[in-house]
Amino acid sequence: MPSPFVTTAWLADHLDDPDVAVVDASWHLPNAARNAQAEYLAGHIPGAVFFDIDGIADTTTDLPHMLPSPADFARAVGALGISEDMTIVVYDEVGLFSAPRVWWTFRSFGATKVFMLEGGGPKWRAEKRPTQIGLVPRQKVSFDARFDTDAAVDFETVSANLRSHAAQVVDARPAPRFHGEVPEPRKGLKSGHIPASLNVPVSLLTEGGKLKAPDELRTIFADRGVDLQKPLIASCGSGITAVTLALALEQAGARDVAVYDGSWAEWGAHKDAEIES
């Protein structure tokens, strides 16, 4: 898989290119006491628009930030001035946390030139590069959204997998949450994990806002019992860090990886879900 990242130096050289769209994809856990949109307004990479993960989502469900319909996605990102044939650079203000989710979302709806900023906003700021305050107006454009049905799986697919064992399920949550030793940060959810799933906390896969090297990733996955030759389903708390996990699996050499979009936000609340702890 070619590198999905661009450097801060590359972005600095291409900020004024008319076909480059910069996207602030910052999002924080409910217990993080941070407001991503307020932080964006206070200062962001010049020209960047804000992608609201909770807003550009399926509004017909109570589940958090599920993928929207192709029509709703096209309408929302078109209003941000982004078309499917632009070069899209996504970043977040943690380093590498929520940006992969938005990178994956754009790709899932048909954009092909989508990249993440290596090191994200923290690296950009550490290098004392310029920032801009306030909203960035971009001319409305059309986005031709074509959803890749292989990108995500649903509750029924994961439930059926408990019987078929067709895919390995890998969970990116921290070990205490996976094992049901601490409460979930999202209220009302049971604790534990999907039966037979494997735990690879996303914190093992990144360092300094960057994804670890493929050789390191392969070692981590091997140590955790992940078979990169099998079909894989990445899960997490609500479908955010599952994408970072899926990205790491692909960088390590996996070729059949899907994201469980509902993740534990759905599984931990579903009356029919089987749970281990």
Q: What is the pLDDT of residue 243?
A: 98
Alpha-carbon span 224 to 252, nearest angstrom = 14
Residue 30: its pLDDT value, please?
79
What's the pLDDT at 25?
Answer: 98
Predicted confidence at residue 71, as pLDDT, reads 98
Residue ranges for the chain with pLDDT beneath 70: 1
For the stretch 156-159, contacts whose Cβ atoms lie closer than 8 Å and that sit 24 or more positions apart, written own/partner, are 157/233, 158/194, 158/233, 158/235, 158/260, 158/267, 159/272, 159/273, 159/274
For strand 168-171 and strand 206-207, is the pairing parallel, antiparallel, or unpaired? unpaired
Catalytic residue among 22, 152, 211, 236: 236
Q: What is the pLDDT of residue 2?
A: 76
Predicted local distance difference test score (pLDDT) of residue 31? 81
**Is 245 part of the annotated catalytic residue set?**
no
- pLDDT of 162: 97
Rounded to the nearest angstrom, the gap between the alpha carbon of residue 136 and the centroid of all alpha carbons in its chain is 23
With pLDDT > 70 as the criterion, what percentage of the chain qualifies?
A: 100
